[in-house]
Structure 1
Amino acid sequence: MTLLLLVIIYLAFISLGLPDSLLGAAWPVMQQDFAAPLETAGLLFMTIAGGTIVSSLVSGKVIKRFGTGRVSFISGLMTASALLGFYFAPSIIWLVVCAIPLGLGAGAVDAALNNYVALNYKAHHMSWLHSFWGVGATLGPIIMAQFIAGQHAWRSGYLTIAGIQFGLAAILLFSLPLWNRVSKNSNKALHENSEDIHNNSDHEDTKYVKPLQIKGVKLALLSFLFYCGVEATVGLWGSSFLVNVKELPASVAAQWVSFYWGGLTIGRFITGFVTFKMSNRMLIRTGQIIALVGAVLLLLPLPSILSLVGFIMVGLGLAPIFPCMLHETPIRFGKTHSQTIMGYQMAVAYTGSTFMPPLLGFIASYTTIGILPIFIAIYIAVMLLSSERLNTLLRKRVHISN
C-alpha cells in the first residue's frame, strides 16, 4: 500500500504541474483575443500565486483537520473547475475570478506532500516526485501548442487540461480509503526509507526557538524566493520573449518553452540517480551555475537556435535546486520545525512567483521584453549567493557542535 500511495502522490504532482505553465504558453494568443495589455498576464499570474500563498500559510491547520488525501482531492477538483472557468471566461475579469481557486487549489497540498516526502523518503524520491510535476508542466504547453498552431483556439487547450484534471481528481477520490489505511501504520512502513532523517536528530539549540529565529532560515527563504522568481518568470514570459524579440511564431515559441519545462523534468529524473553519488548541497550549487550559463546564452546577441539551448540549460540547471532544497529542510533545521518551515518556504516561493514575473511585465511594458535575460541572470546570481552564505552558516554550526 505504501508503494501505491507513492504512485498517488506522483499523480497529484502531475495535477499540480499541468496548469502552472499553461498561461505563459497561451498568453500571446489570449492577449490578442481579449485586446489586453502585455502586463495583464502578470496580474493573472499574481492572482494565482497569491491564492497559493494563502493556502500554503494555512496548510498545517487544513491538513490536520481534513487529512492529506482529502486535501489532495479537493485541490484537484478546485483546479479542474477553475480551468474549466478559463474555457468559458468571456472577459479578463472572469479570468481573474477563476484564477483565485486555481491558486488556492495548489498551496496546502504542495506544502503537505513536500514535507511528507522530505521526512519519510530519501532524496531521490523527492527529485522524482518533482520530475512528475515537471511532466505536467511540460505537457501543458505541448497540449496548448497543438490548439493554437492553426486556429488560435486557446480555449480548447484549457478545456483539454481541465478534462485531464477532472480525471486525476477522480483517481484521488477513489484513493481516499487507501490514504486512511496507510496513515495508520505509515511510520512503521516508511521507517526503512527514512534513516537519514530519523538518525539526524534535531539540534538542541533549535528545539525551543521560533522557526524564523533559527540561524539560516531567512537565507533559505531568500533562496526559495529567487528560485521561484526565476522558474516562474521564464515560464510566463519565455514565449513573449521569443515572439517579440526573436520573432518566432507563437506556436513555435510555445513548443520551445515546453523544452524549457522538459529540461526541468528530465533534469529532475536524472537528479534522482545522481543523488546516490552527490550531496544535495553540491547538486544545488551545480544547478545554479548551469542555469546562470543558460541565462547568459539568452542575454548575448546570438542566433535564435542558441536561445533554445539557453532555455534548455536554464531548465536543466533549475532541475535539482528546488527538490534538493526541500529535502534538506529537516536536515538543516531539524524535524521539530520542519513542517512549519516547509510551509514558510512554500509561501515565500510562491511570493516569488507572485511578484517577480509581474515586476518584469510592468517594466517590459515601458521598455522591452528583451530585458528578460538580464532579470533571469540577476535572480540566479542572488539565489546562488544566498545559498552559499547558508552553506557557510551550516558548516560553522556543525563545527561548533563538534
Structure 2
Amino acid sequence: MDHAAAKAMARTTPAGRDGDTAPLVIVTILFFMWGLLTSLNDVLIPHLKAIYTLSYVQAMLVQFCFFSAYLVVSLPAGMLIRRIGYQRGAVAGLAVAAAGCALFHPASRSGYGLFLLGFFVLAAGITVLQVAANPYVTVLGDARHASSRLTLTQAFNSLGTTLGPAVGGALILSEGAGAGGLAQLSGAALERFRAAEAAAVQGPYLALAAALLVLAIVFALVRLPVIEHGDATGDAAHAPGAAGPVLAQRHLVLGAIGIFLYVGAEVSIGSFLINFIGAPNITALAPTDAAHYVSYYWGGAMVGRFIGFAAMRRVSPGKALAATSAAAIALLLAAMLCDGTPAMWSLIAVGLCNAIMFPTIFSMALHKLGKLTGQASGILCMAIVGGAIVPFCQGLMADLAGLQVSFMVPAACYVFILYFGLKYANMYANTVHHRES
C-alpha cells in the first residue's frame, strides 16, 4: 500500500497487545498537540485579515494552505512511515511542525506570503502525525470498539483545540496595538503598525516550536510497541489497479466525501467565528474577547467526545451521526436567521454536534474492507483537504452575500453527512446479527 495511514489493519506485537493503555496515552498526546496548533488558525485569521486588510477569500488562504498539506503530503508521509515506522514517523512529523512554527518569526517581518508558507509546513508535520496516529489507535484494542476508542483520543484533540483560541487570544491578540486604529493610519505609520501587530505572533510560535522539538526528543526516546504489517495489507494493495477495488466500495467513497465535508464545515465555522461574533448585529465584541467564545465552540466537541466514548458503545454509529447532523443543520439555520446572543450561541453549539462525526465517519467508511483498509484509510486522510476548500467557498459567499448568509455552506455539508448516517444506520447491527447467526 502507498499510504501509511493505511496500517489500520496492521497488528501489534504480542508484547504490545498485553499493554495497550500506556501506548494509547502516549499517542493521545499527539492528538492534543495537533488540535492546539490547528485551532490557533482561528485566532490568526482575523488577526492577519486586519493587519493586511484582506477580503474573506484572501484570509481563507490560511486554511487553504494549511489543509492542502493533507492532500499534498499524505501519500509521501505514508511512504515515509512505511520505511521508518510509526514512532519515528511521529518524531519526523513533530520536527517538521516545529520548523513550520519557526517560520512565523521571519514571516512577521516579510509579509503574508511567508505566513502562508509557514502554515503549509506546519500542516505538513501535522499530516505525518495524523497518518501515523489514527490507524495506530484503531489497532490498540478490540476492533469492535475502534470507533469508541478513536472518539476518546479525538476528545483530547478537542482539548487542544479548546485551549488554542484562548491561549492565542491572550498571547497574540492582546499584544497587538489593536486593529481598530488601522483606518486612521497611512504611509510609514501604517507599516509600523502592521509590523507591530505581526510581531505579536513571534513569541508564541517560537515557544511552540521549542515545545514540539522537546516532544520530538521525548518520542524518540520512549519505548512504544512495534506495529507490524499483516500479510493482508502487504503487497496486494500495491498491485497495479489496486485503486479500483477500493473505489468500488460505495460506503468508502461516500465516507471520504463525508470526511471532506465534515472537516470543511467544522474548520470553516471556527475560522469565521470571531468575525461573526464581532459583527454589529451579533455582539460587536472585540477580537480578544471573541476568541474566548471560539474556545467554547471547540470545547463543545471535547465534551461531546467524552460523552460519545461511552454512548457509542450502545448507540448505532449511523443513527448517532444522522441525529447530530440534523441538530447541526438546525443550529446553523438559527444562527443565520437570528441576531444577538441567540445567533452566537447557536453557532457555538454546533461544536457539540461535531463531537462524534470524524471518528464515526472514519470507522464506518473502513468497515469490513479487509486487505483494502490500508489504502482506504489513506484516501480518508487525503479527504481532510476539505478544510482547505470549504472555508474558501464560504469566504467567497461571505464576500458576495454577507457573512451571516455564508453559513449556508457548512449547513449544506451537514446535509450530506445526515444522508450518509441514515444510509448506513444499521451497518454494525447487521454485522453483529450475521456473526451471531
Report the TM-score when normalising by structure 2. Answer: 0.78
What is the CA–CA distance in structure 1 between the aligned matches of 2:310 and 2:425, rounded to whole Å? 23
Deviates more, 1:166-175 or 1:386-395: 386-395
The residue correspondences of 1:97-116 to structure 2 (distance < 5 A) are: 97-116=117-136
Cα–Cα, structure 1 residues 92 and 144, in superposed 2: closer, same or farther, change >3 Å?
Answer: same
Unaligned runs of 5+ in 2: 1-18, 179-196, 231-241
Aligned position for 1:218: 253
Q: 1:256 to 1:372 in 2, by over 3 A?
A: farther
Does the residue aligned with 1:278 lie in a helix, a strand or coil?
coil
Distance 1:251-1:67 versus aligned 2 partners, 3 A rule: same
Whether contact under 8 Å (2:316, 2:429) holds in the other structure is no
Question: How do 1:152-191 residues align onto structure 2 when only pairs under 5 Å count?
Answer: 152=178, 155-156=199-200, 159-179=203-223, 182-183=225-226
Residues 165 and 299 from structure 1, CA distance in 2 versus in 1: closer, same or farther, beyond 3 angstroms?
same
Q: CA deviation at 1:329?
A: 4.1
Matches within 5 A, 1:294-309: 294-302=331-339, 304-309=340-345
1:94 offset after TM fit, Å? 0.9
SS at match of 1:363: helix
In structure 2, the partner of 1:366 is 400
Query: Which one of the candidate residues 298, 304, 318 is aligned to 1:261?
Result: 298
Superposition deviation, residue 3 in structure 1: 2.8
Q: CA deviation at 1:110?
A: 0.7
C-alpha distance after superposition, 1:11-32 (max 9, x if no partner): 1111111121222223223222
2:411 is matched with: 377
Residue correspondence of structure 1 range 52-91 to structure 2 within 5 A: 52-89=70-107, 90=109, 91=111
Rounded to whole Å, the distance in 2 between the matches of 1:169 and 1:41 is 29
Cα shift at 1:388: 2.3
**1:335 to 2:357 alignment:** no
Distance 1:120 1:94, change over 3 A: same
1:291 partnered with 2:324: no
Q: Hey, what does 2:163 align to over in structure 1?
A: 139
After superposition, the Cα gap between the structure-2 partners of 1:260 and 1:310, relative to the gap in structure 1 and judged at 3 Å, is same
In the alignment, the residues of structure 2 paired with residue 361 and residue 316 of structure 1 have an alpha-carbon distance, to the nearest angstrom, of 23
User: Do the aligned partners of residues 178 and 45 (structure 1) sit closer, same or farther apart at CA in structure 2, a change above 3 Å counting?
Assistant: same
Displacement of 1:355: 0.8
Write the distance in 2 (CA, Å) between the matches of 1:31 and 1:382. Answer: 31
Shift of the alpha carbon at 1:116? Answer: 1.9
CA drift at 1:231: 0.5
SS of the equivalent of 2:60 reads helix
Q: Unmatched 5+ residue regions in structure 1?
A: 188-206
Mapped contact 1:50–1:354 kept (Cα < 8 A): yes
SS of equivalent to 1:338:
helix
Kindly tell me: are residues 217 and 394 of structure 1, through their superposed partners in 2, closer, same or farther at Cα, counting changes over 3 Å?
farther
Residues 165 and 86 (structure 1 numbering): CA distance in 2 closer, same or farther, change over 3 Å? closer
- Could you tell me how far 1:141 is from its partner in structure 2? 0.7
Provide the C-alpha distance between the structure 2 equivalents of 1:335 and 1:234, rounded to a whole number of angstroms.
35
In structure 2, the CA distance between the partners of 1:95 and 1:208, relative to structure 1 (3 Å rule), is: closer
The aligned amino acid for 1:136 is: G
Partner residue, 2:272:
237
For the residues of structure 2 that align with 1:395 and 1:275, how far apart are their CA atoms?
A: 13
Decide whether the 8 Å contact of 2:321 with 2:417 is kept in 1: no
Determine the structure 1 residue equivalent to 2:55.
37
Q: In the alignment, does 2:312 pair up with 1:275?
A: yes
Q: Secondary structure at the match of 1:333?
A: coil
Structure 1 residue 51 displacement after superposition: 1.3
Task: Say if 1:327 and 1:217 are closer, same or farther in 2 by CA, change over 3 A.
Answer: closer
Shift of 1:156: 3.8
Cross-structure match for 2:35: 17
Structure 1 length normalisation: TM-score?
0.85
Change (3 A) 1:101 1:385: same
Which moves more between the two structures, 216-225 or 320-329? 320-329
**Take 2:353 and 2:71, find their aligned partners in 1: how far apart are those partners?**
25
Matches of 2:296 and 2:251, distance apart in 1: 34
- Supply the AA of the counterpart residue of 1:347: M
Q: Percent identity?
A: 20
Mapped partners of 2:166, 2:198: distance in 1: 12
Q: Given that residues 274 and 294 in structure 2 are in contact (C-alpha distance below 8 angstroms), is that contact kept between their aligned partners in structure 1?
A: yes
1:59-81 C-alpha deviation (Å, 9 max, x unpaired) = 33121112111221221222222
Tell me, in whole angstroms, the C-alpha distance in 1 between the residues paired with 2:426 and 2:229.
35
- Alignment match, 2:14: none
Instruction: Find the partner of 1:124 among 143, 148, 156.
Output: 148
Question: What does the per-residue CA deviation read over 1:131-181, in whole Å, with 9 as the maximum and x for residues that have no partner?
Answer: 1111111111101111314644565456325424532442342233444x5
**Alpha-carbon distance, 1:4 to partner:** 2.7
Query: Deviation string for 1:220-273 (max 9, x for gaps)?
Result: 111111111211110111112222352322122211111101111111122112
Q: CA RMSD in A?
A: 2.9
* Distance (Å, rounded) in 2 between the aligned partners of 1:39 and 1:185: 44
Specify the SS of the correspondent of 1:39.
Answer: helix
2:33 alignment partner AA:
S
The verdict on how the C-alpha distance between 1:85 and 1:150 changes in structure 2, with shifts beyond 3 A counting, is closer
